[in-house]
A and B are shown apart, each in its own frame.
Chain A
């Protein structure tokens, strides 16, 4: 039967088959419609979730996209009251202006110097301090740890007169080095807690073995503990660097603005005119300053999470 071609069947049989099949196909299409509704109902939750995520992505990305496209727009087009979401005559004019006419690169260099020095000083202090707090028991240890936690809440801005006095005394007033020392103090407070938390997870037996073999504490610290704690130290370094890179208030108050001796946040704020704001230049600077940091951030993210959750202070 199955071998027989369809034409071989009597016409009557075919019409009978059709007659039987027709209601079935109607029934199937009804079932399909019902099925569709059921699937729609089942998926309504998921569709809602996608809609929500879509709105959130627009909220998250629109500001970034808008500034990115504006950086390629002309100043003329940006002082228009019409909404425009793509530049009409895209060009590099804003970038050229920022890099050539404004001391943008000097500000970047200053930021790197001040923040880099602060991070380096803070890492030296925080690793040694955290090691002592993690490995040795001495009077005042608990008090010191709680004290560091309390100091974390102290905003540097509140002590600005004292900073001015100290930096004048040691001859660093208005200088990047002076600012770096002030930043370093804030970084040590965060760094000690993070790095100590990680040191605590490293088995002390490794160092004991080294000490038995005739090494001393310094050797154990440099050769064993520091290499093992690299993830936490890197995560702390990034936190410190980003924190300093973002800092505006202390830099504005402590640095001497002559000769463009300021960091990038202060420089960009100075760029702002009395009445008009050069949005095109701002947009180009925003892209130049953010892209490297965003790249580092996205690359380091996993790393970052591990270094932070293992460390003492979560947040």
Chain B
């Protein structure tokens, strides 16, 4: 800890403070304020406060669309996080096996999906899922000997949901593989040997020796990834645009229209004469509230804040 004049401290803080206040804090208050007004295409300049009317509208009157979006987003997050954390851990354990050779090569090959820019990942997979020209359906045609076979990966709600989950697993497991491998290598082999001598089975050694030692590394990473998966945009929007939209009603969310994609689709319709800025701002505040709750929960469960107390 250093002592300095107030002016010096202020000088160091000023650049950060200006940008954060202008680009982070002001917009949050602006949006929160907007969510209590009736600003829309008909009241662009002469809008006024209408209390919590927007919140009632968004939660009740839009056919429960927001609640539906929240539910499918949760399902998406649980499926993605559950699978990529497990897959990353299993891959790391396979690589960490004492008799596996060429660990360096294996891990470089397995880590490559992480290095691909996310908008390119979206492009690649959209190509793979293409109904006519994508290799996945072409492969299905080869093994079924049926030239017309194929799955409408991006046209059917369930298939599209699975498709975007697979993409997220593809791009996210290398991160967990890397984290788990680092943590596994820091476990002293004597501990596992001692458990073996004491007669612990393979499963027991995993469950009661390895897992508790992996927890400090995996838990914060899992929680942070949960939050980023909640905010997933590129690899969903650029593949499905939130669709398929099967009901024909523009207010009904699509099968992969998760929170941020839903938000984007609402905002993007700025040309729409019926745009209701108050409603969009309300959805924004609700999305932020959901993410905030997740963040605060993660602060409780991990030691992320220990730095603050130093």
Contacts and interface: CB of A to CB of B under 8 A. Distances in A.
Interface of A: 45-46, 49-50, 52-53, 56-57, 59-61, 63-64, 66-67, 70, 78-83, 85, 121, 124-126, 128-129, 131-132, 135-138, 142, 145-146, 148-155, 157-163, 165-166, 181-182, 184-186, 188-189, 192-193, 196-197, 200, 204, 207-208, 211, 216-218, 221, 242, 245-246, 248-249, 252-253, 264-265, 268-269, 277, 279, 282-283, 285-286, 289-290, 293-294, 297-298, 301, 305, 309, 312-315
Contacts of B128: 63, 66
A286 B15 contact: no
Contacts of A269: 119, 238
Interface in B153-184: 170, 174, 178, 182
25 contacts: A45-B97, A49-B94, A52-B90, A53-B95, A70-B127, A81-B138, A128-B12, A129-B12, A132-B12, A148-B20, A151-B25, A153-B288, A155-B231, A155-B288, A157-B233, A160-B267, A163-B27, A188-B19, A200-B307, A204-B1, A246-B119, A265-B117, A268-B119, A277-B130, A294-B112
Contacts of B145: none
Across the A-B interface, give the 7 residue pairs with the lowest CB-CB distance, nearest first. A129-B16, A159-B27, A162-B27, A185-B23, A83-B138, A132-B12, A158-B284
Nearest to A137: B1
Contacts, number: 275
B203 interface: no
A217 B305 contact: no
B97 A313 contact: no
B100 to A, nearest CB: 6
Interface stretch (B60-68, B192-200, B221-229): B221-229
B301 interface: no
Main SS of the interface on chain B?
helix
Contact of B308 (A142, A161, A218): A142
A264 B234 CA distance: 13
Given A80-B133, A132-B13, A245-B117, A153 B291 contact: yes
A63 B170 contact: yes
A225 B123 CA distance: 42
A56 B291 contact: no
B46 interface: no
A290 B220 contact: no
B19 A121 contact: yes
Given A46-B99, A162-B26, A208-B2, A59 B115 contact: no
B233 A248 contact: yes
A67 B124 contact: yes
A163 B22 CA distance: 9
B19 A49 contact: no
A129 B24 contact: no
Contacts of B299: 149
Contacts of A160: 267
B279 to A, nearest CB: 12
B165 to A, nearest CB: 14
Nearest to B90: A52
Interface stretch (B48-56, B103-111, B207-215): B103-111
Most A Cβ at <10 Å: residue of B23, B91, B221, B263:
B23
A293 B260 CA distance: 26
B1 A181 contact: no
B91 A53 contact: yes
Given A78-B133, A185-B20, A211-B2, A314 B221 contact: yes
Nearest to A315: B224
Most A Cβ at <10 Å: residue of B12, B17, B238:
B12
Given A63-B125, A154-B291, 11 more contacts: A45-B97, A53-B110, A56-B91, A64-B124, A131-B12, A157-B233, A157-B264, A157-B267, A161-B31, A181-B23, A286-B120
B268 interface: yes
B217 to A, nearest CB: 8
A33 to B, nearest CB: 23
